[in-house]
Amino acid sequence: MTRLLATLGLLSILVLGCGKKLPEPPADRVADAADGDEPRPKPRPKRVEDPDAPFPSADPPAPKKKATSTWGDGAAVALKHDSRITFGPPGCPVFVVDQDVFDAKTLKVIRMLPDEYERHARRALSPDGKLFAVTQKGRNEEDTPTHIYTTDTGKKVTIPPAAKGAYADYVAFYGNTHLLLGGRHGRTVGVYGVATGKLDGELKTPEQQVRENTVRFSPDGKVFATITNSKVVIGDVRTGQQLKVITPPGNDDPEVVAFSADGSEIAGLFEDLNGSKVVIWDSAGKAVAEFPVPVRSSIALDHVLEWLPDGSGLLVGEHLIDRAARRPVLSVRVPWAVYITPHLLDQNRVVGCFEKGSEQLEVIPVPWPKLRAALKAIDQKADAYLAPGRPVRLDFVLQGLRGDATETRTLLGQALTKRLARDGIPVAAQASTVLRLNLSEQAGETLPIFEKQSPFDRQGRDTGRKATGAKGAAALELWAQGENAPLWRRHLTSASGTSFSQEINDATLRKSMIEDLGNQIDRIEIPYFLPKDKGTVALPTVID
């Protein structure tokens, strides 16, 4: 066949070589967004030293607007390569690293717990930081007891395994007096008294099984929220009865939900191929805010959704979002495969691992005065190279194109326009600030085309045809009138796809490379505010 059987759903690939009532619950490393940024999903190409070479260097020269911030005090905690870190909710006074209990303010060890525990054990800290729970076995293991330690004395209470065949995949504290245990064996969460280790009650969730992070409680412990069948169900803790059912926009599945610190609002994080967004509902289940958020840059990160203690914003992935502005004001650069997610220690500090290969937990203060001053400058329409509502002009420098230049400009222009619109930045032909895309294209490998006869056909049938792939290297830059260096720069690399449900030839492979570049543009974090005043920070400010 000369055409792949897309209508039959066959996939062709370009082979590269081939219960009871419950009891009452009781920065000096900060750089602004004018700094350059490096791609994450793909390894860097080899450095090209020749300035006239068709592929630009993967390492850009330092931008002119170099940050001179002095935030942060270098506070850090040394880690082992496989350290297990347990945080409580934002504001919890302690955190646990392996067996060491750290004071969250001083970052000093205040207690060493008496027992080691399995690397993949499920763990939790109570809101007041006085209790630490850990399962004896890892996830998806039956018949595991759970141990509760007091963090000030190390005293242990053991909760015996639940019924035969039960799991303890979900471990969380209900207030400071009870522990919740559930798992994929069913929909029931057991509620155990901390002091006695005995079952005091049961909570039945709407979902058919209890999974990690599927149940969240309001701060007063009166209601819980769980995600089931693309809906957020709010239930009464005392009775287990459903109080309300929230249907998210578009019937999308939220990845995780979180109550605000005062319990008056609940936020849901949504992620799909079209991007990420946060929806906030009030106590009546009415949506009061919806806004896009940057996608996660690290594949290893769990879904992070945490409210600031005063309710003024949320930490979403690596991005601190201002609740009123509905924009990211601070972003932390997280290595591509890091296993430690960023966390709000409290209102004013973010903790995490921010350097590739680093074996230390860093604590960086949030520069609220500077961030709020920048937000105020936006509201007052302060003089800026780039700001919401102020247009930019698109410019393209294309080298070595192997396809139609007009089509290439159209596809990439649409991607850039869509991305800028998310920050409220229009595109206009006469704007003084220019977003320039330098693209160099080269031919990729010429490879045989194999056609799969079914999803289970690993090798496929050799069609006897060949096609040549494409690869591109792009530098995305912001230029301002009168400046002799870019204000901001980001490098991207793209390559043609290897999976198709359409005819494969040189042209379709080349177009897939351009589309891949467009998808990357849609996901990158471009600054939305670059002030001319050197005393005002860019937004989002970047910890890098």
pLDDT band at 188 (very low <50, low <70, confident <90, very high): confident
Q: Which of 438, 422, 397, 409 is nearest to 514 (CA)?
A: 409
Distance between CA atoms of 504 and 447, rounded to whole angstroms?
A: 11
pLDDT at 4 over 60: no
pLDDT (average), residues 200-208: 75
Structure tokens at 102: 């750290």
pLDDT at 23 over 60: no
Q: What's the Cα-to-Cα distance from 532 to each of 36, 136, 537, rounded to whole Å?
A: 18, 57, 10
Specify the higher pLDDT residue, 271 or 51. Answer: 271
Task: List % helix, strand, coil for the chain (3-state, nearest 5).
Answer: 10, 40, 50
Do 80 and 96 meet the contact criterion of CB atoms below 8 Å apart? Answer: no
The angle subtended at Cα 43 by Cα 37 and Cα 44, nearest 5°, is 60
Structure tokens at 261: 């610190």
Distance between CA atoms of 36 and 439, rounded to whole angstroms?
A: 17
Model pLDDT, residue 136: 87
pLDDT at 379 over 90: yes
Range in 38-47, 72-81, 266-275, 428-437 the model is least confident about: 38-47
Model pLDDT, residue 330: 95
Q: What is the mean pLDDT of the chain?
A: 81
Model pLDDT, residue 524: 87
Model pLDDT, residue 463: 87
**Residues paired with 328 in a beta bridge:** 321
Query: What is the Cα 303 distance to its own chain's centre?
Result: 6
Q: What's the Cα-to-Cα distance from 5 to each of 16, 207, 454, 504, 512, rounded to whole Å?
A: 21, 39, 10, 11, 19
The angle subtended at Cα 301 by Cα 298 and Cα 306, nearest 5°, is 120
Q: Is the previous residue joined to 540 through a cis bond, with omega within 30 degrees of 0?
A: yes
Domain spanning 113-212, CATH class: mainly beta
Kindly provide the residue ranges of all beta strands, DSSP E only, lying in 333-487, ordered along the sequence: 343-346, 349-352, 360-365, 384-386, 393-399, 433-451, 461-480
C-alpha R_g of the chain: 26
Range in 258-272, 446-460, 510-524 the model is least confident about: 446-460
pLDDT at 454 over 60: yes
Per domain, the residue ranges of the chain are: 6-18+27-69+383-543, 113-212
Structure tokens at 224: 């819980």
Cβ-based neighbour number of residue 281 at 10 Å = 22
Instruction: Say which residue the tokens 């959704």 belong to.
Output: 305
Do 263 and 219 meet the contact criterion of CB atoms below 8 Å apart? Answer: yes
Spatial CB neighbours of 438, under 8 Å, sequence gap ≥ 6: 56, 397, 399, 474, 475, 476, 477
Structure tokens at 256: 């995780």
- CATH domain 6-18+27-69+383-543 topology: Double Stranded RNA Binding Domain (3.30.160)
pLDDT (average), residues 106-129: 92
Residue 418 in 3-state DSSP?
helix
pLDDT at 177 over 50: yes
Residue 256 in 3-state DSSP?
strand
pLDDT band at 59 (very low <50, low <70, confident <90, very high): very low
- pTM, entire model: 0.80
Model pLDDT, residue 95: 96
pLDDT band at 29 (very low <50, low <70, confident <90, very high): very low
Q: Which of 350, 381, 352, 384 is nearest to 367 (CA)?
A: 350
